[in-house]
Every structure is written in C-alpha cells, then in structure tokens.
Amino acid sequence: MNKLFSVPLKGGNVTDVFNVDSIDELCAYLESVRADKLYVFDTNTAQILPSLPARSIVLPSGEKEKRWASIDRILSRALSLGMARDSIFVAIGGGVILDMTAFAASVYMRGSRCILVPTTLLSAVDATLGGKTGIDYGDAKNIVGTFYPAESVLIAPDTLSTLSDREFRCGLGEVIKHAFLSEDRRLYQFLSDNKDRILKRDKGVVSEMIKLSLEVKIHYITLDPEEKKGIRSCLNLGHTFGHALEAMKGYGISHGEGVAWGMARAFEAGAAIGITPISYRDECIALIKSYGFDTDYKICASEMSRFMDAIGKDKKKKGGAVRFVLMEENGKPCLLPLENDTVKYAVSND
C-alpha cells in the first residue's frame, strides 16, 4: 500500500489517497484502523471483500437508489450500532454508494469520519476527491448534498476486475476528459501510448492511469474547492451536451458515453466559433473514438427541440444562459455561452 497524495483541505486537514495492492491488503488496512465502523455496500459491491463485515449495510444498486430512503437506512443503522462522532463510515462501491455514504457521514452527529473505497473506474477518478456528497431529489440529480471530503481514499485496482466492459469504459470517458484538461499532456500521451493495455485492464497501467487522472482533478479542486471561481466548473467538459443526450435518450446510454459524445460536441462547437484549433479538435475526437466511443451520433431534426429543451435545463446556467466548457488548447478550458445555432451545428453538422 502506498500513499499517492495528501490533498490539502480547508482548516489544515488533508485527504490521504492510497494505492492498495490487493483485496487482502485492503481488508488488513481497514481492520487495523482503530474505530467503530459501518461498512456501506450495494448488492454488487457486497461481494468484493472475502466476507461481509458484521457492521454492514447493503443497499440496492443503481442511481435510482440515490435518495433519502437510502440515507435514512444508513443513518438508522449507524444509530442502532451506537456509532459516535469518531466512528467511521466506510463506503465500498461506485459513485452512488460513495456520494451517499459521505453525505450520511457529513450529517451524522454534524460530521463523523469517512473512508471511501471506489470500486468503479469512474468513482476512482472522479467521485473520491473534491468532497461533493449527495443524493438525487425529485427528478434533479445531486441536488441535495454537502461538501464533505473523506479522510482517506483507498484505491485498489483489483476491485475493478469484476466491472463490465461498459462500466469500465464509462470511467475511461472521465479519464479522457482529464487528459484534455491537463496542461502537461502526460495523461494524454499515456492514453495514446497504452490503449491496448488499458483496455485489457493491465493492473500496473490502470494504477498509473488513475494516478495521472487524479492529479488533474486535484489541480482543479484545489484552485476552486467549492466551485465558486469558474475553475472547477471546467471539469464539466462534455457534460452539458452529454447530460442533454442522456436525458433525451431516457438514460439508455451510460454517463461516460454521454460525456465522450459531449466532449466531441464541445470540440466541434469550439472550432465553429474559432476558439478550438481545427487540428486540435480532430486529434482529440480521434482519441475519444480510439477508445470505442461513438462520437459521430447526430441529433436528427425530429429530436432537435427535445434536445434543446434538455440543454436549457442544464443546472450550470448563469444569468439565464447555459455556459459550455470549450477548449482553447490542451489544459486551457473556458466557459462560454453559445448561440442556439452553434449548438445545433455542433450536434447535427447542419
């Protein structure tokens, strides 16, 4: 087990991020932490440890479970176990379990301890750092929540071995996004050079990829921890277009597929208004495509008004206008409103 980062937080605290070599090492470490614990799993991640710890709760899996009822169950179990403020909520799962467990930890006794063990690639690179916790409410995603960074994050690439190819690829969408947002291009080059080994989930290569990806996330969240300066918002590259596609398709496509398609649209839109150099647009879309994502899907005329409605609902609206993350060059994102005609051009090429 080795420490990858100590991420500085407000008030002098840190989140320690560790790479853990095996499931056995993960269990040994968790057992060695001297505190009462409550483990939170979903029905899929409950199989990850060799046996289920006695003080556990197993929730149904999936985004539809990311709601009050699940928080209620976690808090009731914590209370019935007599957990105190210095007890630890240990989340073992994808982003849904991580976000909910950290939310429960943030409100239990006005804040107790929290350790995150991500078991999807997406959650490892995106949902572990930055402190965003929460649940969906009504039909709004992540609309109720807190900022509550975990005290530690334990990344064990062995936990990813049971992920479906589709879930693994979903995480790659976010990794590719981090490659574009990184000024130094190491992750971009790494993705270009190691595609086959990444897709085969070679453990060493996947560990290095996660580390490089987290470096980019850390850069943005430390500059703008609470998303108030328009810097952290740039981590939403591809999300405005992608969420609209996901919403229009009734969430029949995965989040990663939506983001990958959305990034390609952001490159098209940026090139159309002269922000993104054409050659950079083309090389980035080629990289996304090389990882098996469909970047060519077009919104047809009969879908366009529903798509534009979905874009208008984007929650990153400022002053009435939706702001899109566009790229000037690698590591140089900007937030800009777009004319409807530019959006339509970027998604249909008409």
* Site of interaction with ligand NAD (CB under 6 A): 42, 44-45, 48, 61-63, 66, 93-97, 99, 119-120, 122-123, 126-127, 130, 132, 142, 159-160, 162-163, 167, 170
- Angle (nearest 5°) at CA 336 between 332 and 340: 135
CA 306/CA 303 separation, integer angstroms: 6
Closest distance of CB 152 from ligand NAD, Å? 16
CA-to-CA separations, 347 to 118, 242, 248, 277, in angstroms, rounded: 33, 11, 13, 18
Closest distance of CB 163 from ligand NAD, Å? 5
CA 232/CA 226 separation, integer angstroms: 8
What contacts 121, CB < 8 A, 6 or more positions away? Answer: 160, 163, 167, 168, 170, 171, 172, 174, 175, 206, 210
CA 61/CA 45 separation, integer angstroms: 9
In this complex, which beta carbon is closest to ligand NAD, that of residue 77 or of residue 201? 201
Closest distance of CB 326 from ligand NAD, Å? 21
CA 5/CA 23 separation, integer angstroms: 20
In this complex, which beta carbon is closest to ligand NAD, that of residue 156 or of residue 187? 156
CA 171/CA 255 separation, integer angstroms: 9
Beta strands 152-155 and 323-329: pairing type? unpaired
Q: Round to the nearest angstrom and report the end-to-end CA distance of the chain.
A: 53
In this complex, which beta carbon is closest to ligand NAD, that of residue 13 or of residue 43? 43
Which of 9, 51, 44, 11 lies closest to 30, judged by CA? 51
In this complex, which beta carbon is closest to ligand NAD, that of residue 214 or of residue 346? 214
How many C-beta atoms surround the C-beta of residue 197 within 10 A?
15
**Residue 335 DSSP label:** E
In this complex, which beta carbon is closest to ligand NAD, that of residue 119 or of residue 233? 119
Closest distance of CB 281 from ligand NAD, Å? 25
Closest distance of CB 119 from ligand NAD, Å? 4
Closest distance of CB 289 from ligand NAD, Å? 21
Instruction: Check: CB of residue 220 under 8 Å from CB of residue 231.
Output: yes
In this complex, which beta carbon is closest to ligand NAD, that of residue 24 or of residue 282? 24
Mark 128-141 as b/e (b = at least 16 C-beta within 10 Å). Answer: bbbbbbbbbeeeee
CA 69/CA 93 separation, integer angstroms: 18
For every residue of 175-191, DSSP letters joined together read HHHHHHH-TT-HHHHHH
Closest distance of CB 218 from ligand NAD, Å? 12
Closest distance of CB 32 from ligand NAD, Å? 23
In this complex, which beta carbon is closest to ligand NAD, that of residue 146 or of residue 342? 146
Which pair of tokens denotes residue 241? Answer: 């277009």
In this complex, which beta carbon is closest to ligand NAD, that of residue 134 or of residue 333? 134
In this complex, which beta carbon is closest to ligand NAD, that of residue 99 or of residue 246? 99
Neighbouring-strand partners of residue 133: none
Closest distance of CB 14 from ligand NAD, Å? 17
